[in-house]
Structure 1
Amino acid sequence: MKPIDIEKNECAKKGEVKHDPSFSGKDTLKQIMACCIAHSLVIQAGINMAFSAVLLPQLKDSDPDIVIDKSQASWIASIVTIALPLGSIFIGPLMDRYGRKQMCIITTLPFLLAWVLHAFATNVWFIYIARIIAGFSGGLTTVSIVYVSEIAHPKFRPMLLSLNSVFVTFGILLTCVFGFWFNWRLMSQIFFGVVLLSCLGLYFIPESPYWLVVFKNDHIASSKALRWIYSDEATHEEAFKRILESKRNATCDNNDVNETSAFIRLKRSFESYKDPTVWKPVIILIILFLFQQLSGAYIIIFYAVDIFREVGNKNSIDGFTALVWLGIIRFVMSIISTLVSKNLGRRTVMFFSAFGMIITGFACGFYLYIFSNSHSLHNYNTTSNYQPFLDSNLTNFNKTESAATIIPTSDFTTNSTQPHTYTSNNIPLFLILGYVCFSSLGYLVIPWSLIGELLPVKVRGKLGGVLISVAYLLMFIVIKMFPFILEAISFANLLIISGVINSAGLIYMYFWLPETLGKTFEDIARKFQSSKAKK
């Protein structure tokens, strides 16, 4: 029977697709290798986040050719976050049109250009342009999540998607460690080489078999791609049937539509968004990203140096060491998340992450509230902990204060008071580190991976980019508003509020977040279908 005949029969009957039989360790290794090569793109996204923390102090200390002021420093740090959503939006239709693998390869090209501009920069405008291109390229890396979700076996998909955050945090850690030894221009050349290796590796992995069937209707090419992944004939056949099931779900209700009509195709495109298998996961993910950003986990990462100094012992840790420790914590916890999600599932790991954040957030908030003296973190933004952003020049802008903020000097008042440290011990510091640990286990990792699992294939490219853009927009707003929120409430009260928000997030996940462990895309889609559609 021809593949197209199989598809027609699948449309005629809604048969259940069985799970694959067991397959060899070689097949498993090939899947892991392909996913790791695709995920290598997001190493650059992690480097984007941390590179300004190394670049800015080195520009001040060791590069007299490029002189920057405080406003320029803040733009160098923040412009990546602003440019990133643009790439996330553009990559959706591009990956649907040209393919997942092809766009993975193309994504490396602007990264290469960005590092060339960094390496040979002669003034701050070269750096601005390089950071904009790097941020835009970081948005394009969304394609790697979609690729991995479609290439991975349902049994391993949660673990392999979680590797996305492992590679992002590896990029952060790599940048912080290299910052100890290398000049930023040499680092740019090294990172150019890292991108080049990713580009070369991408040529040896197959195209997404889902994309080949759903978007190109190329059953032969899809079968060849699956043959690269699965050497066992029975496993190959079952995987191909799963793909045809996805194709059937996307086309069975529209077999009589005139494909030559552009108007009809546009109408179908909008109609597809009314499908509960589309709008339900979109709403779930948007609310989940909202809870993620309101949890304050990214705030702690962006303002780590100042927060660690304020809540800990005055002489316990310096800024650059804090950056490295945060990189290590995030990297280790993202690995742990990848390993445990394979066996426990997304819901369980997210519950544990939220519960740990609730405990550590409340504990630290109440500890600071009870044991603080007459001063409070209400004046956090006016103390000398923000001195590098209050000075009229970059005199104190050194490595220990290199967790560059995106907030310009003008956003802070200058009527500073004496610096204040809540306690003489490190209990709050350890609680904040615990908060980072628990957030890195689930809240900062899993929502991004769920984009590749909950969205159906037919809209995953377009809506995946939109969702990531929304998430980064929320991140930018929360981080930008943080100093202004501290004008109204203390940091202790902010931690208590985050505990309340995380409690609400835990309740929300209990009722609305579906489990994806071991489920096919069709199983997940049926979860969102209305009771009428299921009959």
Structure 2
Amino acid sequence: MEGTGMITGAPVHREGKKLWQYLASISASIMAVGVGTALAWTSPVLPQLYEPDSWLVITKEQGSWVSSLLALGAMLGAILSGPMADKLGRKKSLLLLTAPFLLSWVIIIFASVLWLINVARFIVGVGVGAACVLVPTYISEIAETSTRGTLGAMFQLFLTVGILLAFVLGAVLSYTAFAIICALIEIAFFASFVWMPESPVWLVNEKRKPEATLAMTVFRGDSYDPSEELAEMQREAEQAASRKSSIFDLIRTRAAKKALLASLGSMFFQQLSGINAVIFYTVTIFQASGSSMSPELASIVVAIVQTVMSGVAAIIVDRAGRKPLLIFSSSAMAVSLVALGLYFNIKANGNDVSNLGWLPLTSLTLFMISFSIGMGPIPWMLMGELFPAETKAVASGIAVMLNWFLVFLVTKTFPMMNDELGADATFWIFAGIMVVGTAFTYFVIPETKGKSSQEIQEELQGNGRFKTTNA
């Protein structure tokens, strides 16, 4: 059954038009392209800066800071984004985020010393962390129940487009031209998003119902009667107002605890799969593997696969459900990480790997495919779906902060783990974590496909139904 937002269950609900929900989600997701380019910028740029004839020669240790400072900035951005979104609104907050992105690219264009690049990476991190909270929140609040999965998957899809763009531009453009294109993406976001309506959920919470009705008319079309959906939002807003939201609300009820555990758990396993280590160091991994394909080309192939599969995820997530996709995703990632570790193990033991040149590319491609249809988009989607309006901003801030702390941890320690333990043991550790992630998904994460916010909360609160739903 497609979500009706109905309380009575009487079949009078007509679905609204989807065009403006798609347009607004695509426009907001241009910000995610900017996030992707910022994330992957280090992959083509750092190997250039390690070259002895580079305009700025840096060491591997300095490079690990350039990679990981973004994650520290993102933690700060995640903390600030919740209160900012509640105070200024989702739309204004998103438009304001163009400032840290543009500032960072301007610094990178004119930087002549390493510390300026580090400052730029931290600043862009603040924008990245806030965007990771605000874009999924905005999309989940404007989408109808029936399109929420597809639109929610757009954030990850556009993020992968940004990563692919960074790999391609980094391979063919100069350092400066690359940064200029990245800055232009932010200007394109601002120019398109400035015309979009504010989130009706936020407007209702602010007691601005006429504006919320107007926004709903844009998002659902003129012939749609938004009164029922608005009444549902109103009820949620009144419940939120009656109990002043605080961080303790996240552990006060059974539903809140389960939502928090599921959301933080999915973020934990998303990052401890090693995904960002793979993205940040794709070129380096291929250089180390001695694969027959050039590292730059191999990294572009991996990014293309990730982008295509994120598109597939957006199409199938409302049909297949969140939980089956997550279980498939983490299992397949475990297999590909074991295979990748095996290749490096054979190579480390001095054996001939010339006839295994296909294995690193195949393993990483399978890893990216599996990540892109489950572990990539779904934790962001769950973050927008599992929490009621009054705790969504705080909970999303905490989830994104955890996410970026783990990004920092993984990207900072990955080169060291590689040196100390070897690439084989490093990838096998990530594989073990994915096996645990599969079990966690099966037992803890609820299915949210096709359910209204109210139904999700009732299910989280309910006894026993939580575990067995749609496994």
TM-score range, shorter chain: 0.7 to 0.9
Q: Tell me the distance in 1 between the aligned counterparts of 2:12 and 2:37.
A: 38
| Equivalent position to 1:288, from 266, 269, 283 | 266
Does structure 1 retain, via aligned residues, the 8 Å contact 2:333–2:371? yes
Aligned to 2:357: 426
- Alignment map for 1:451-462 (pairs within 5 Å): 451-462=383-394
- The TM-score normalised by the length of structure 2 is 0.87
Aligned to 1:523: 455
Q: Does the alignment pair 1:272 with 2:273? A: no
Aligned to 1:511: 443
Q: Tell me the distance in 2 between the aligned counterparts of 1:128 and 1:362.
A: 34
Q: Does the alignment pair 1:30 with 2:16? A: no
Q: Tell me the distance in 2 between the aligned counterparts of 1:189 and 1:309.
A: 27
Residues 1:171 and 1:458: Cα distance change in structure 2 (over 3 Å): same
Aligned to 2:86: 96
Q: Does the alignment pair 1:242 with 2:224? A: no
Q: Tell me the distance in 2 between the aligned counterparts of 1:103 and 1:20.
A: 36
Aligned to 2:401: 469
Does structure 1 retain, via aligned residues, the 8 Å contact 2:40–2:279? no
- CA offsets 1:302-321 (integer angstroms, 9 cap, x no match): 3333433555xx35122212
Aligned to 2:307: 331
Residue aligned with 1:316, SS: coil
- The TM-score normalised by the length of structure 1 is 0.77
Q: Does the alignment pair 1:52 with 2:29? A: no
Does structure 2 retain, via aligned residues, the 8 Å contact 1:159–1:342? yes
The sequence identity of aligned pairs, in percent, is 28
Aligned to 1:211: 202
**2:197 alignment partner AA:** P
Residue aligned with 1:442, SS: helix
| Equivalent position to 1:131, from 109, 114, 121 | 121
- CA offsets 1:15-53 (integer angstroms, 9 cap, x no match): 4476883446xx211110001111111211111112123
Residue aligned with 1:317, SS: coil
Residue aligned with 2:146, SS: coil
**1:201 alignment partner AA:** S
Aligned to 1:346: 322
Higher CA-based Rg: 1
Residues 1:348 and 1:134: Cα distance change in structure 2 (over 3 Å): same
Deviation at 1:440, TM superposition (A): 2.2
**1:269 alignment partner AA:** S
| Equivalent position to 1:157, from 124, 143, 148 | 148
Q: Tell me the distance in 1 between the aligned counterparts of 2:413 and 2:12.
A: 49
- CA offsets 1:404-424 (integer angstroms, 9 cap, x no match): xxxxxxxxxxxxxxx876463
**1:208 alignment partner AA:** S
Q: Tell me the distance in 1 between the aligned counterparts of 2:10 and 2:80.
A: 36
**1:357 alignment partner AA:** M
Q: Tell me the distance in 2 between the aligned counterparts of 1:342 and 1:316.
A: 39
Deviation at 1:190, TM superposition (A): 2.3
Aligned to 1:437: 369
- Alignment map for 1:5-24 (pairs within 5 Å): 15-16=7-8, 21-23=13-15
Unpaired runs of 5+ in structure 2? 1-5, 465-471
How many residue pairs get aligned? The number is: 456
Deviation at 1:340, TM superposition (A): 1.1
Aligned to 1:86: 76
Residue aligned with 1:424, SS: helix
Root-mean-square deviation (CA, aligned residues, Å) is 2.9
- CA offsets 1:353-381 (integer angstroms, 9 cap, x no match): 12322443445556776xx37x44xxxxx
Does structure 1 retain, via aligned residues, the 8 Å contact 2:109–2:180? yes
**1:474 alignment partner AA:** L
Unpaired runs of 5+ in structure 1? 1-13, 255-264, 377-418
Q: Tell me the distance in 2 between the aligned counterparts of 1:496 and 1:62.
A: 33
